[in-house]
Structure 1
Amino acid sequence: MRGLIQRVNSASVTVGDSVVASIDSGLLLFLGIEKNDCEDKAEKLLNKVLKYRVFADSAGKMNQCLLDKEGDLLIVSQFTLAASTDKGLRPSFTSAASTEKAKQIYDHFLTSCDKAYPKFKSGIFGEDMQVALVNDGPVTFLLHA
Structure 2
Amino acid sequence: MRALLQRVTEAAVRVDGQVIGEIGPGLLILVCAMDGDDATQPGQLARKISKLRIFADEAGKMNKSLVDTGGSALIVSQFILAADTSRGNRPGFSTAATPQLGIHTATGAFGADMAVSLVNDGPVTIWMDTAA
* The two structures share one fold, judged by TM-score above 0.5: yes
Q: Partner of 2:34 in structure 1?
A: 34
Q: Partner of 2:73 in structure 1?
A: 73
What is the deviation of 1:127? 1.1
Q: Which 5+ residue runs of structure 2 have no aligned equivalent?
A: none
Higher helix share: 1
What is the distance in 1 between the residues matched to 2:7 and 2:44?
20
Q: Partner of 2:52 in structure 1?
A: 52
Q: Partner of 1:134 in structure 2?
A: 119
Is 1:85 the equivalent of 2:85?
A: yes
Q: Partner of 1:114 in structure 2?
A: none
Q: Secondary structure at the match of 1:125?
A: coil
What is the distance in 1 between the residues matched to 2:90 and 2:123?
27
Paired residue total: 130
Q: Deviation per CA, 1:16-56, whole angstroms, max 9, x where unpaired?
A: 02110110000000001101111111111111111111101
Is 1:63 the equivalent of 2:63?
A: yes
What is the distance in 2 between the residues matched to 1:83 and 1:44?
23
Is 1:122 the equivalent of 2:114?
A: no
Question: Which amino acid is 1:140 matched to?
Answer: T
Q: Secondary structure at the match of 2:84?
A: coil
What is the distance in 1 between the residues matched to 2:49 and 2:100?
24
What is the deviation of 1:124? 1.4
TM-score normalised by structure 2 residue count = 0.93
Q: Partner of 2:6 in structure 1?
A: 6
Q: Partner of 2:94 in structure 1?
A: 94
What is the distance in 1 between the residues matched to 2:71 and 2:112?
26
Q: Secondary structure at the match of 2:95?
A: coil
How many percent of aligned residue pairs carry the same amino acid? 46
Q: Deviation per CA, 1:105-142, whole angstroms, max 9, x where unpaired?
A: x12xx4xxxxxxxxxx4111121100010000110000
